[in-house]
Chains A and B, each alone.
Chain A
């Protein structure tokens, strides 16, 4: 049976991981390659590296980091942050990334999704959606949550999949950093709206939150950062917990 995936997210800047609460107040949580190895050994099913400052600052170091990670770890990983062109994608995939996650440019220039899918296959094209509840509507935000759009999260997901996205990384900005649980309703709606896997992100605080997002939220994967970085939840224990709750996990 296909297992639900547990994905630690490493927000990186200059090769080191950082994690903010609601996208500000960054804290240094360690060396990215070292952390990747630890997670891989702990039983993480996949890793996501987000170059959080990529849209603002230069990020030549990213490809180098990707190469180092690819040489070391034996599980799949996704790289995102500031990807604007097919050339950007080409560099990251050639450096050893298994997938790329595209956020801002997928909204500003949706053709990047179809071009990427045509050139490299949908399986490596992840559409990252940052959604925030504004006046009862889940709106898509860009540039690390700084720019509001009129686009609705579900429409964004559907359109992205039609263009060629092979997976959706759905972050609730309202839940992110709160540790009050994933955004179940939104995750379920997006998961039901598209026929590709959905990674739920934002809000994980307890083991039970993962149970909820996999059952009620119909997520295919659960992503979290600080609870893993600061060892508030250890992946082996989380997976044992999920297994006891009859959720298919790889142990």
Chain B
């Protein structure tokens, strides 16, 4: 099984690689369109700011490469947000694969970013096989993806938002599965070994 991680200026590429290593998988870190296209599965990580990341992807033509992927793809954190249509973070036009907008948390009572462990619920699809409702996963984010028909895990932080979405072959999680202890490992394992190519 060939697993590729989209290698770009995202902060958590190494963390995702480490997490996959712990699952006895040696992923390929690459920005090569051909290598990404021929992988069995692709992980699209991300930590950082949306417009800078999008600019980086466009300059390397990675935006087109990612859009054209047909195998299961897992976006993580900023990776999830970049898969959406638009982000309020510096009014950034994103990849437009997931039919959602990325909003900024607005709250007088809550601290922004949401940083820490929150529970996810209304779990759907095989991505969450064996994961109990209300399991805790680790979030760090100031922006969120709205909830909608493609939401496969919900979370509540002042507002109900998408902790995970699935649209065609694209899966995405807002939380850091690579830092979410045993629950995160199970979700990664489900993505890597459980979903059919």
Nearest CB to that of B13 among chain A residues?
A94
Contact A74 B178 (CB under 8 A): yes
Q: In the complex, A220→B180 CA distance in Å?
A: 18
CB-defined contacts of A221 to chain B, threshold 8 Å: 116
Contacting B14 at CB < 8 Å: which of A1, A4, A94? Answer: A94
A151 within 8 A of partner (CB):
no
Contact A1 B179 (CB under 8 A): no
Q: In the complex, A1→B182 CA distance in Å?
A: 19
A-B contact pairs, 13 of them (CB 8 A): A3-B116, A5-B116, A40-B181, A45-B117, A46-B116, A71-B22, A74-B19, A74-B178, A76-B176, A93-B11, A96-B14, A122-B113, A196-B113
A250 within 8 A of partner (CB):
yes
CB-defined contacts of B19 to chain A, threshold 8 Å: 74
Contact B118 A1 (CB under 8 A): yes
Q: A48: shortest Cβ distance to chain B, in Å?
A: 14
Q: Interface on chain A toward B: helix, strand, loop, or mixed SS?
A: loop
CB-defined contacts of A72 to chain B, threshold 8 Å: 22
Nearest CB to that of A167 among chain B residues?
B115
Q: Which of A157-205 contact B (CB under 8 A)?
A: 166-167, 195-197
Q: Interface on chain B toward A: helix, strand, loop, or mixed SS?
A: mixed
Interface residues on A, range: 20 to 34
Contact B184 A2 (CB under 8 A): no
Contact A166 B117 (CB under 8 A): no
Beyond A74-B182, A196-B115, A220-B115, 4 additional pairs, beta carbon < 8 A? A5-B116, A71-B21, A121-B47, A250-B117
Contact A74 B113 (CB under 8 A): no
Q: In the complex, A1→B116 CA distance in Å?
A: 10
A224 within 8 A of partner (CB):
no
Contact A123 B185 (CB under 8 A): no
A70 within 8 A of partner (CB):
yes
